[in-house]
């Protein structure tokens, strides 16, 4: 267990537990409203949190913060965390998104232990509660146009005006509401509003809309309903029905908390929901540089094919991160490190990348890959001969052992590891210089071959037969350069994708610029690399460090047995910081 940041939400929970705020709740077999008994009442959890995505897109790095926070609190406090699909909006929700959300939360390493709910399962209760509110004089049907309603809502400095329909009697309201439900009216003809206070200093309390007419087919309830609850009405009810204790959301909902409390207090008075009531707590959302975390923008990137789908390794979606080779552990570490606060701030993407690097450094076996190959010919090495060199699987973990890598007369080396005319401080191959072929022999460069255009086609050298790494006397050779290589005859020529940041600037779209214009044109480079033979048998999603190059993963979808394709997750060093 790691030292956890003692954030302000923990202070609230600690105090609630100390004061026994939720102790009066019987999580099962409790008397009380029938609706509430059915949901989330199956265990003895001390607190209940929830992660409530709307299934209208794939989860992104911002959602990971909310997931780590809510599930993390439940784990730490012997509580439960629900996975709730907030699917009260009929138009944009799809099963594909539901499935992808389930996968992503599991991938991050969290388990809701059967507490999986759909807000649309509560439609009947939400409707019944609305009738109760109407009967008690807490809600009314408004028949103003949307423009009239907007105009009478007032402003921050000016109170709103009561609707001419505000004093309809409960029976008149009930009749209209039932006819709304029966489908008698067109979209927008009427709306149900809570009757709170049109002069409130908080605009969210000026009789917010709670039910609207929408003749649309819902992904789960089909055409059963033509009226749908508004988020501000639905969300508190979902929390109360599931016996949530701490309903954690992002800061932009702060102004809605008074209505959250007002609504649940009325419903508790009316016997619709049990007390103690859930409490809403707001925290600052994750803002990350060099990415966009808005579903609308992510959808645009996918639809306009700036990326290769939702799981493109360059996207800040969790499916994209997984495909890129990022690890769930690193996401959890990143979120723990950042903690939760009450004020908005920006985090540089390099912080997340560094967390990935750290975790991959600990867990990824080392392998050798030549990304920009040129031949190295060892003129004094016998034709047809081959032997094995031993390379450690992890320099800090001798217990991971060593593996044999084949050595032969012709090797692949990086083109940049040879210079015909060396620059200052260049210690790698140039005519007359000696370097060590890592885990192999010391060689002395003798020259190079060129084609008609002057392009180097092969580097030539001679090896020192008594210099093999690990053999007695091998360290008598003092050389400054140490380069990696793979035997050309044994190498596996693989497709490797070098991914970089999708955007070239810190704040894409800043200052009203079209964020598409900020795309990094070099965010994806597909190459054929020469890999050590052992990588041929890499399994999909296996991660490695390619020495000197960074961390790579065998693509989970494009790899075939015997022909894995690799994606670069992250380089060894941050090449973006100045």
Peptide bond into 492 cis (omega under 30): no
- Contact mark string toward ligand ATP, 11..50, x via CB under 6 A: ----------------------------------------
Return the number of the residue (54 or 308) whose C-beta is nearest Mg ion: 54
Positions in 292-321 near ligand ATP (CB under 6 A): 293-295
Return the number of the residue (107 or 165) whose C-beta is nearest ligand ATP: 107
**Rg over CA atoms, the chain:** 31
372 labelled ligand-binding: no
Q: In terms of Cα–Cα distance, which of 117, 59, 113 is closest to 88?
A: 117
Instruction: Given the residues 54, 462, 541, 547, select the one marked as catalytic.
Output: 54
Check if the beta carbon of residue 563 is closer than 8 Å to that of residue 401: no
What are the CA-CA distances from residue 555 to residues 329, 349, 355, 499 (Å)? 19, 22, 21, 13
Residue among 113, 285, 444, 548 that touches ligand ATP (CB under 6 A): 285
With 0-12 / 13-18 / 19 or more C-beta atoms within 10 angstroms meaning exposed / middle / buried, residue 63 is buried
Return the number of the residue (54 or 197) whose C-beta is nearest ligand ATP: 54
Using the rule CB under 6 A, give the single segment among 52-60, 237-245, 302-310, 550-558 that binds ligand ATP: 52-60
CB of 285 to ligand ATP, least distance (A): 3
Return the number of the residue (347 or 504) whose C-beta is nearest ligand ATP: 347
Instruction: Given the residues 25, 206, 295, 543, select the one marked as catalytic.
Output: 295
Using the rule CB under 6 A, give the single segment among 110-118, 286-294, 420-428, 520-528 that binds ligand ATP: 286-294
Check if the beta carbon of residue 102 is closer than 8 Å to that of residue 85: no
Q: Is 135 in the site for Mg ion (CB under 5 A)?
A: no
Using the rule CB under 5 A, give the single segment among 53-61, 108-116, 133-141, 461-469 that binds Mg ion: 53-61
Q: Phi-psi region for residue 137, left (φ > 0), alpha (ψ -120 to 50) or beta? A: left
CB within 8 Å of 227: residues ≥ 6 apart: 127, 180, 181, 192, 211, 212, 213, 214
Q: Is 336 in the site for Mg ion (CB under 5 A)?
A: no
Q: Is 63 in the site for ligand ATP (CB under 6 A)?
A: yes
Cβ neighbours of 51 (radius 10 Å): 24
Q: Determine the Cα–Cα distance for residues 96 and 219; give it in Å rounded to an integer.
A: 10
Residue among 43, 54, 103, 148 that touches Mg ion (CB under 5 A): 54
Helix axes 95-107, 61-76, angle to 10 degrees: 60
Q: Is 500 in the site for Mg ion (CB under 5 A)?
A: no
Q: Is 219 in the site for ligand ATP (CB under 6 A)?
A: no
Angle at 325 between CA 396 and CA 494, to 5 degrees: 90
User: How many residues of this chain bind Mg ion (CB under 5 A)?
Assistant: 1
Positions in 245-264 near ligand ATP (CB under 6 A): 249-250
| Complete DSSP assignment for 459-527 | EEEEE-TT--TTSTTGGG---SEEE--EETTT-EEEEEEEE--SBSSSSTTGGG--GGGGB-TTSEEEE
User: How many residues of this chain bind ligand ATP (CB under 6 A)?
Assistant: 14
CB within 8 Å of 200: residues ≥ 6 apart: 206
Return the number of the residue (55 or 564) whose C-beta is nearest Mg ion: 55
Instruction: Given the residues 285, 366, 375, 438, select the one marked as catalytic.
Output: 285
Q: Determine the Cα–Cα distance for residues 28 and 274; give it in Å rounded to an integer.
A: 13
429 labelled ligand-binding: no
CB of 292 to Mg ion, least distance (A): 13
Q: Phi-psi region for residue 352, left (φ > 0), alpha (ψ -120 to 50) or beta? A: alpha
Return the number of the residue (281 or 434) whose C-beta is nearest ligand ATP: 281
CB of 301 to ligand ATP, least distance (A): 13
Q: Determine the Cα–Cα distance for residues 225 and 288; give it in Å rounded to an integer.
A: 39
Choose from ligand ATP, Mg ion, none: what does 293 bind? Cβ within 5-8 Å by kind: ligand ATP
Q: Determine the Cα–Cα distance for residues 192 and 56; give it in Å rounded to an integer.
A: 25
Q: Determine the Cα–Cα distance for residues 225 and 29; give it in Å rounded to an integer.
A: 31
CB of 54 to Mg ion, least distance (A): 4
Residue 462 bears catalytic tag = no
Return the number of the residue (86 or 555) whose C-beta is nearest Mg ion: 86
Q: Is 232 in the site for ligand ATP (CB under 6 A)?
A: no
Residue 132 bears catalytic tag = no
345 labelled ligand-binding: no
Q: Is 433 in the site for ligand ATP (CB under 6 A)?
A: no
Please report, in angstroms and rounded to a whole number, the separation of the first and last CA atoms in the chain: 35
Choose from Mg ion, ligand ATP, none: what does 285 bind? Cβ within 5-8 Å by kind: ligand ATP
Return the number of the residue (310 or 566) whose C-beta is nearest ligand ATP: 310
Residue among 36, 37, 66, 243 that touches ligand ATP (CB under 6 A): 66
Residue 444 bears catalytic tag = no
Q: Determine the Cα–Cα distance for residues 286 and 288; give it in Å rounded to an integer.
A: 6
Tell me how far the alpha carbon of residue 346 is from its chain's centroid: 16
Tell me the helices (H) and strands (E) count for the chain, helix number first: 13, 27
CB within 8 Å of 3: residues ≥ 6 apart: none
CB of 62 to ligand ATP, least distance (A): 2
Active site residue ranges = 54, 285, 295
For binding to ligand ATP (CB under 6 A), which residues are involved?
Answer: 52-54, 62-63, 65-66, 249-250, 285-286, 293-295
For binding to Mg ion (CB under 5 A), which residues are involved?
Answer: 54
Could you tell me which residues are annotated as the binding site for L-glutamine?
A: 86, 231
Could you tell me which residues are annotated as the binding site for ATP?
A: 54-56, 250, 285-286, 293-295
Could you tell me which residues are annotated as the binding site?
A: 54-56, 86, 231, 250, 285-286, 293-295
């Amino acid at each position: 267990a790691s030292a956890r940041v003692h954030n302000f939400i923990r202070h609230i929970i600690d105090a609630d537990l100390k004061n026994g705020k939720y102790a009066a709740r019987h999580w099962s077999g409790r008397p009380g409203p029938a609706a509430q008994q059915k949901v989330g009442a199956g265990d003895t959890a001390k607190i209940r949190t929830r992660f409530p995505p709307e299934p209208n897109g794939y989860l992104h790095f911002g959602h990971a913060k909310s997931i780590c926070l809510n599930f993390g609190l439940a784990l730490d406090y012997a509580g439960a965390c629900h996975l709730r699909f907030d699917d009260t909006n009929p138009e944009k929700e799809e099963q594909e998104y539901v499935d992808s959300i389930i996968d992503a939360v599991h991938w991050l390493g969290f388990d809701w232990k059967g507490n999986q709910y759909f807000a649309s399962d509560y439609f009947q209760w939400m409707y019944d509660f609305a009738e109760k509110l109407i009967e008690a004089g807490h809600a009314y049907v408004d028949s103003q146009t949307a423009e009239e309603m907007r105009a009478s809502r007032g402003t921050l400095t000016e109170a709103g005006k009561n609707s001419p329909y505000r004093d309809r009697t409960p029976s008149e309201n009930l009749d209209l509401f039932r006819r709304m439900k029966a489908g008698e009216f067109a979209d927008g003809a009427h709306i149900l509003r809570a009757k709170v206070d049109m002069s409130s200093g908080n605009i969210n309390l000026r009789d917010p809309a709670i039910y609207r007419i929408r003749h649309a087919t819902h992904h789960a309830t089909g055409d059963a309903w033509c009226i749908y609850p508004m988020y501000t009405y639905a969300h508190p009810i979902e929390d109360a029905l599931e016996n949530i204790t701490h309903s954690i959301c992002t800061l932009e909902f702060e102004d809605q908390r008074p209505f959250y409390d007002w609504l649940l207090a009325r419903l508790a008075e009316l016997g619709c929901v049990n007390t103690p009531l859930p409490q809403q707590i707001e925290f600052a959302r994750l803002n990350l540089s060099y990415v966009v975390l808005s579903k609308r923008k992510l959808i645009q990137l996918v639809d306009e094919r700036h990326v290769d789908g939702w799981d493109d390794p360059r996207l800040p979606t969790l499916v994209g991160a997984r495909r890129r080779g990022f690890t769930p552990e690193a996401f959890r570490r990143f979120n723990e490190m950042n903690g939760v606060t009450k004020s908005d701030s920006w985090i540089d993407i390099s912080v997340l990348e560094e967390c990935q690097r750290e975790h991959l450094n600990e867990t990824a076996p080392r392998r050798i890959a030549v990304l920009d190959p040129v031949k190295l010919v060892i003129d004094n090495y016998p034709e047809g001969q081959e032997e094995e060199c031993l390379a450690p699987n992890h320099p800090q973990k001798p217990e991971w052992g060593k593996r044999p890598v084949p050595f032969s007369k012709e090797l692949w080396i990086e083109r940049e590891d040879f210079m015909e005319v060396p620059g200052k401080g260049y210690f790698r191959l140039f005519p007359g210089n000696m370097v060590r072929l890592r885990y192999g022999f010391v060689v002395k460069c003798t020259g190079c071959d060129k084609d008609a255009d002057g392009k180097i086609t092969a580097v030539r050298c001679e090896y020192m037969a008594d210099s093999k790494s690990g053999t007695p006397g091998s360290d008598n050779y003092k050389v400054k350069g140490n380069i990696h290589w793979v035997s050309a005859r044994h190498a596996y020529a693989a497709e490797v994708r070098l991914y970089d940041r999708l955007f070239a600037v810190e704040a894409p779209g800043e200052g009203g610029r079209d964020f598409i214009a900020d795309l990094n044109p070099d965010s994806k480079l597909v190459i054929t690399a020469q890999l050590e033979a052992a990588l041929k048998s890499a399994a999909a999603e296996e991660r490695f460090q390619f020495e000197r190059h960074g961390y790579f993963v065998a693509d989970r979808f494009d790899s075939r047995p015997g022909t894995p394709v690799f994606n670069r997750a992250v380089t060894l060093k941050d090449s973006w910081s100045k």
